[in-house]
Structure 1
Amino acid sequence: MNHALLKLEDVRKAYGALAVTDGVSLSVNPSEIHGLIGPNGAGKTTLVGQISGLITPDSGRIFFKDSDISSVPASSRTRMGMGRSFQITSIFGSMSALENVALAVKAKQGHCFQFWKAANQYREVQNTAAHILSTVGLGGLENTPCDELGHGELRQLELGIALAAEPKLLVLDEPMAGLSPVETRQMVELLTKLKASYGILLIEHDMDAVFALADRISVLVAGKVVFTGTAEDVRNSELVQRAYLGDDDE
């Protein structure tokens, strides 16, 4: 049996008397998509911050590839193979798609303070960046300025930038946000393809996308994981219906 890529044990974070994450335990295995869902205010953003190293837990432990990373900074987690994409894209709009990914490739190689003039001088870097763009469905758009890309294409590019770090785990924070139905289907197809090579923690409000993609789903309510199971388990759980899915009817 494969060891979990990511494992959380009783992770907690409070601000004053408010417990934002309250004893969270979950895991993500290689070649698995683990969905994390929950209503607004459930603690998802704080939990993602703890996983990525931007927020330090008050207690509990976080393991990545069997190493305790609970106090490891975000930059080191990236170097260890944890990739993250955000709800809001962070892309240089005046630069081409290829240049944006090439910068990320150079950063992975450790030339963070030199890459501005060097990124487009190395054929190997450009070839790697072009391959990544093809992987995320942007082949043929290498030289397109990012200001001219559609919203869905920017989401694909953001994912490509995350892949440039050669991660083992992808933490994807709302990758479907703002996408049209057609763009959402394209993103679902892309993530399905990527699952063979990466473990994926998918934080997402689009329930149809989560149900289509996730091997397991954890439901976070008021900082607690109240249920973990398959999409079918989640659909059939009265607890989930009361705690989360039924909120839309209230």
Structure 2
Amino acid sequence: MSILIFDSGVGGFSVCQAISKTLPKLTLHYCMDNQLLPYGEQPSQIIIQRVSQLANKLVAKLKPRLLVIACNTASTIVLPTLRTQLNIPVVGVVPAVKPAAENSKNNHIALLATPATVTRQYTETLINDYAKNCRVDLIGSTRLVEQAENLLRGKNIDLKILRDELQVIHQNATTPDQLVLGCTHFPLLAEYIQQVLPQGTRLLDSGNAIARRVDYLLQQNPLFHKNSNQQKQPAQFFFTGEQVSIAGLEKFLWDNNYQQIHQVII
């Protein structure tokens, strides 16, 4: 059995890792729209159009049992459209604002996401619903998306860039004790982000919650139990940009059984 994971770049790899731990026999096809990376700087209508085209094309080709939109920016705007177009479950990414607020000891949390995510009504509603008793610092960063992309290609992380992007956390009388990683790229940088945070600030992301949701939805499918003993099939990896854009990712791709790599033209 297979599912399709979609992101603008390599951020969805953090979601792949969480799902693989929960469902090790599941085949995870992956598509990254690196031609339009980063999504956080794109108009909403362009994102809806691109994701819809790519998702419909690949779902028809691969016949996955479920689609994961492993991109916070896309999840805030494209899920309703996809759910009317596709006849399979579509899982999105929700920033872990609710558990951050519940776990905060000083009622001060921060959300680190793309500039688009932190300014959308979706995020404001999430905060009002689940963190209205907390101070919430909103930090939008495209540069950290670029750092995560560089990391997966074997380049060094520039801690000065991380400090500059997160400096607002150090500028207040109190510091947040919970930092929500509201972009799937950012868990890839977790160990580096932790180095530039105040002592005691905890990182939260949505990877495990997504894995649990995928597991729950697949359990409702009779074919999931019927195929549970079948050997895991090779996964397919799709990209929309230049071939050079995936240089350096070979170890990740082969370690995760991606033996067929294709460029998608739309």
**How does the TM-score come out when normalised to structure 1?**
0.30
Question: Which structure is higher in helix share?
Answer: 2
After TM superposition, the score normalised by the length of structure 2 is 0.29
